[in-house]
Structure 1
Amino acid sequence: MLDGMPQARGVTSDVGAALVHGLWHGAWCWDEVRAALAERGVDSVAVELPLTDLPADARATREALDAFDRPAVLVGHSYGGAVITEAGEHPLVRELLYIAAFQLDDGESVSRTRPGRDLPETRLAEAMRVVGSEVHLDPEWGSRLVYNDASAEVASAAMARVRPVDRLLFRRVPESIAWRSRPSTYVVCTEDEVVHPELQRAMAGRASRTVEWPCGHSPLATRPDVVADLIADRVRAAAPS
């Protein structure tokens, strides 16, 4: 168990969890977390983002919440944080949970966050390959950075499924800022080599509460039980008393 992690077993509630993935990935990256949530009595849905434009991704998330048709904790990993920031004003959302994610403010984008702040950068740009309007993730560098603390088997399986994304995603700003009207929790991944931990801490200052995990960028793959425990805890907190 990681520091600051609650243990939550046997959660049953009308509240569920809606899960939003990051760049280059898909709903599949939540599979192990969803299995762990089911063991804890938490119903979930994983959103499949088109990864063409932030408004389109937010729309896909709102449509998934409509189909889920129950109150939910809305969880975003990495770029998924930008998506839940825009989509999180949906009436079924009870709380936002950011995992090494972009908790953006007005006028910010994934490529321009906390302008004017002298925050360190990672080497993610070195892993990106631009081909026309698409941005691809270099297999070798992507594995080193995105899955820096994963086993070779886990990293290889994930990298075999990544896909290109549209360049627009890096520039678009959210049309609404849901964390102003919803409680939020931010998870800082202190060994992250994709979103620098200091940038994460700067964004986490906007959240209602913060926890820190000593892990890399992809705890969904490396620590699914830990992720599920936190989501189940927030689902329990959001349930009617």
Structure 2
Amino acid sequence: MTVTAGGTSRPTLLLVHGAWHGSWCWDGLRAVLDADGWTTRTVDLPSAGREAGVRDDAQAVLDELKRIDGPAVVVAHSYGGIPVTQAVAEAPDVTRLVYLAAYQLDVGEGLLAYHGAPVPPDPGGFQPVPDGPVPMFYADVPGPEAARAAERLVPQSTRSFSDTLTRAAWRSVPSAYVVCEHDRALPPQYQEELSAKSDVVHRVASGHSPFLSMPVELAALLAEIVLGPFD
């Protein structure tokens, strides 16, 4: 928890990345938030690079939340919305959830099932980094930065896409959804459908990774979501 100069307390922001990524993707946004007086934390989900599933990722989120002193707001990007939805249902001091172009699913749902894709009977192994990751994930990110980000992507555990939720935190914790209107990875029509579960919905004119393409604007929006009225 951060206390500002005026004495107002702010929750810690826990930033949870999506598939194929790591906590490194938040560095630019964290710099902006830190400069504005926020305390931020990140977590590396084990399913990015290791054979792990949603439960393993959810446990990693829970373990990080336990290290935070005071209330927290969890910001989940893309696939990260799935383990966050599972984990926060068991976390006592999370005041809000923010789904950033993320999968806000319900109990019994998983990523593959949501898209109507077949779930393999033995979901071992990995999903390789998609072909053309720059136009998919970083279409509006400056070229050199987009190339550096693409080089850091790692294979994603197939099991994380196959697993389904047993709990849904957004049913008891207030949630906001940020639709990325120019997203090529999770198209906006899916995000609009997913966002129907949230209490409030915001929209930004960005691709899939606004933490890289527009960190200043995203930081301001997160501050508005966290500190403003929630209705």
The TM-score normalised by the length of structure 1 is 0.83
Shift of residue 87, structure 1, vs aligned partner: 1.2
**Which amino acid counterpart does residue 40 of structure 2 have in structure 1?**
S
| 2:48 is the counterpart of 1:57 | no
Q: Residue 44 and residue 178 in structure 1: after superposition, are their counterparts in 2 closer, same or farther (change >3 A)?
A: same
Q: Residue 82 and residue 95 in structure 1: after superposition, are their counterparts in 2 closer, same or farther (change >3 A)?
A: same
Q: What's the counterpart of residue 88 of structure 1?
A: 88
Q: What's the counterpart of residue 149 of structure 2?
A: 158
Shift of residue 40, structure 1, vs aligned partner: 1.4
Shift of residue 170, structure 1, vs aligned partner: 0.9
Distance across 1 between alignment mates of 2:101 and 2:62: 21
| 2:200 is the counterpart of 1:209 | yes
1:123-171 residue CA offsets vs partner (Å, 9 max, x unmatched): xxxxxxxxx7111114x51111111111211110101111111111111
CA contact (8 A) 1:13 1:42 kept: no
Q: What's the counterpart of residue 25 of structure 1?
A: 21
| 2:139 is the counterpart of 1:148 | yes
CA contact (8 A) 1:73 1:234 kept: no
SS in 1 for 2:186: coil
Q: What's the counterpart of residue 125 of structure 1?
A: none
Q: Residue 114 and residue 181 in structure 1: after superposition, are their counterparts in 2 closer, same or farther (change >3 A)?
A: farther
Q: What's the counterpart of residue 41 of structure 2?
A: 45
CA contact (8 A) 1:10 1:40 kept: no
**Which amino acid counterpart does residue 135 of structure 2 have in structure 1?**
R
CA contact (8 A) 2:105 2:194 kept: yes
The one of the two structures with greater contact order (alpha-carbon pairs below 8 A, sep at least 6) is 1
- Residue correspondence of structure 1 range 193-232 to structure 2 within 5 A: 193-232=184-223
1:164-218 residue CA offsets vs partner (Å, 9 max, x unmatched): 1111111111221000001100011111111111110001000000011111101
Distance across 2 between alignment mates of 1:178 and 1:207: 11
Q: What's the counterpart of residue 34 of structure 1?
A: 30
| 2:128 is the counterpart of 1:136 | yes
Root mean square deviation of aligned Cα: 2.0
Unaligned runs of 5+ in 1: 1-8, 116-120, 122-131
Distance across 1 between alignment mates of 2:5 and 2:148: 30
Q: Residue 226 and residue 54 in structure 1: after superposition, are their counterparts in 2 closer, same or farther (change >3 A)?
A: same
Q: What's the counterpart of residue 107 of structure 1?
A: 108
CA contact (8 A) 1:21 1:27 kept: yes
Q: What's the counterpart of residue 185 of structure 1?
A: 176
The TM-score normalised by the length of structure 2 is 0.87
CA contact (8 A) 2:129 2:156 kept: no
SS in 2 for 1:168: helix
Distance across 1 between alignment mates of 2:5 and 2:222: 13
Deviates more, 1:106-115 or 1:198-207: 106-115
| 2:140 is the counterpart of 1:168 | no
**Which amino acid counterpart does residue 223 of structure 2 have in structure 1?**
A
Q: Residue 42 and residue 142 in structure 1: after superposition, are their counterparts in 2 closer, same or farther (change >3 A)?
A: same
**Which amino acid counterpart does residue 222 of structure 2 have in structure 1?**
I
Q: Percent identity?
A: 36
Count of residue correspondences: 214
